[in-house]
């Protein structure tokens, strides 16, 4: 099994952030974002909220719920998880799997596939996820 060439991306902006209860002795945060992207030729708007906690100097993150909406009205959801680290100047960098699901035929080509993302957040709150398929 190998990663494909890049097959999509999501460009977004961090729109909210809050501090959560500590996880043991580790800090935890919640980040909300929104943006636009495409994969496999399917364009969509996307938004989601993920939580992350720090463990041994690394961030462990989980996106339990996110939505995608195509310009012609198809709707779907996604989940993701990953590990990352803070970057110089106040940004962050994460890597992990992402899964899409939809009952709508227009998004059905994304069902049942494992995508892998590279998520880079700049100190100014802009972010990009590069999408690859694993399989």
How would residue 1 be classed by pLDDT, with cut points 50, 70 and 90? low
Q: How far is Cα 135 from Cα 57, in angstroms, rounded to an integer?
A: 30
CA 132 to CA 113: how far, in whole Å? 11
- Structure confidence at residue 32 (pLDDT): 96
Summarised one tens digit per residue, pLDDT across range 76-124 is 999 999 999 999 999 999 999 999 999 999 999 999 999 999 999 999 9
How far is CA 116 from each of CA 20, 38, 81, 96, rounded to the nearest angstrom? 26, 14, 10, 6
Q: What is the DSSP string of 93-121?
A: EEEEEEEEE-SSTTTGGGBT-EEEEEEEE
Six token digits for residue 117: 């993302």
**Residue 33 has what pLDDT?**
97
> CB within 8 A of 123, min separation 6: which ones?
87, 89, 90, 91
Q: How far apart are CA 49 and CA 135, in angstroms?
A: 27
- How big is the CA angle at 32 (ends 29 and 33), to the nearest 5 degrees? 135
Domains of the chain and any CATH numbers: 8-134 (2.40.160.20)
Per-residue pLDDT at 135 exceeds 90: no
Read off the pLDDT of each residue in 67-73 and give the average, rounded to a whole number: 97
State yes or no: pLDDT of 29 exceeds 70.
yes
């Amino acid at each position: 099994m190998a990663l494909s060439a890049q097959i999509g991306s999501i460009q977004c902006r961090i729109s909210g952030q809050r501090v959560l209860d500590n996880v043991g002795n580790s800090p935890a945060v919640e980040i909300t974002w929104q943006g636009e992207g495409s994969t496999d030729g399917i364009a969509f708007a996307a938004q989601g909220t993920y939580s992350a906690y720090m463990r041994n100097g690394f961030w462990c993150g989980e996106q339990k719920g996110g939505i995608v909406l195509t310009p012609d009205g198809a709707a779907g959801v996604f989940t993701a998880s990953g590990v990352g680290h803070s970057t110089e100047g106040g940004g962050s960098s994460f890597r992990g799997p992402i899964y899409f699901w939809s009952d709508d035929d227009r998004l059905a080509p994304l069902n049942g596939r494992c995508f892998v993302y590279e998520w880079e957040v700049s100190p100014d709150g802009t972010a990009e996820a590069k999408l690859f398929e694993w399989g």
